[in-house]
A = this chain, B = another copy of it.
Amino acid sequence: MAEENKIGTYKFVAEPFHVDFTGKLTMGVLGNHLLNCAGFHATDRGFGMAELNENHYTWVLSRLAIELDDLPLQYESFSIQTWVENVYRLFTDRNFAILNKDGKTIGYARSIWAMISTETRKPADLLALHGGRIKDYLCDKECPIDKPGRIKVEEDKPIGEHTARYSDIDVNGHVNSIKYIEHLLDLFPMEQFRDKRIRRFEMAYVAESYYGDKLTFYREQLGENEFDIEVKKNDTEVVVRSKVIFI
């Protein structure tokens, strides 16, 4: 298969309620678009959620790392490219490029996914998926950003708290992956986004949380512009870790 056929390209417009007070697309909305593109691309190739669900498997997002030179402004069109870089037995690496209205690449993202059985919740063998055909889609397009790193938060004094409500919960009954992004960034004061912008953003999805869970946020500053954040549910189990680097 030609390399260009392995890349899915999807077009968007930055909607008015999808930009922040600076007029730029929010990280939550960008994250949502990235995950949708992953879904479109997989579905078009026969290994999307709907097909997997029929066979009692589902994709689980494990890691997401986004690095940005810029973001689309309100009403601007932009596009997202996605492709599969690697497939291992238990994980697959899916990458993304974000292109502005002129087709210039303004950011990249990396994601790591596992597949689990919806019955046993145990990981499934990706190399066996779809008759091993997932490997046909491997693409060596460049993704010149670092892989998701290790995030370790020592801080034990919480900086914020949120009880998971109706609007946080997705169709699986879990706090949805995008809502964590919104809640994490809400830990920062507005001035942080006025004076700086996010250069790199990482999410590590460690465990699920549910309606009514008390989410507690711990934040550690690693330098002028770098923050590690950990979210625990009910004061014990870590559900999410994140790194935010401003510029």
Contacts and interface: CB of A to CB of B under 8 A. Distances in A.
Interface of A: 15-17, 19-23, 26, 28, 32, 35-36, 39, 49-50, 74-75, 165-167, 169-173, 176-178, 182, 185-186, 188-190, 193, 211-212
Contacts of A23: 171
Nearest to A21: B169
A185 B169 CA distance: 13
Contacts of A36: 15-17
Contact of A186 (B19, B166, B177): B166
A185 to B, nearest CB: 6
Given A17-B35, A166-B193, 19 more contacts: A15-B32, A16-B35, A16-B36, A16-B39, A16-B49, A16-B170, A16-B171, A17-B177, A20-B167, A20-B170, A20-B171, A21-B169, A21-B171, A21-B172, A26-B167, A166-B188, A166-B189, A167-B185, A190-B212
Task: Among A21, A35, A75, find the residue whose CB has the most chain B CB atoms closer than 10 A.
Answer: A21
Contacts of A169: 20-21, 190
A211 B193 CA distance: 13
B165 A17 contact: no
A166 B39 contact: no
A138 B39 CA distance: 40
A185 B166 contact: yes
A57 to B, nearest CB: 16
Contacts of A211: 21, 190
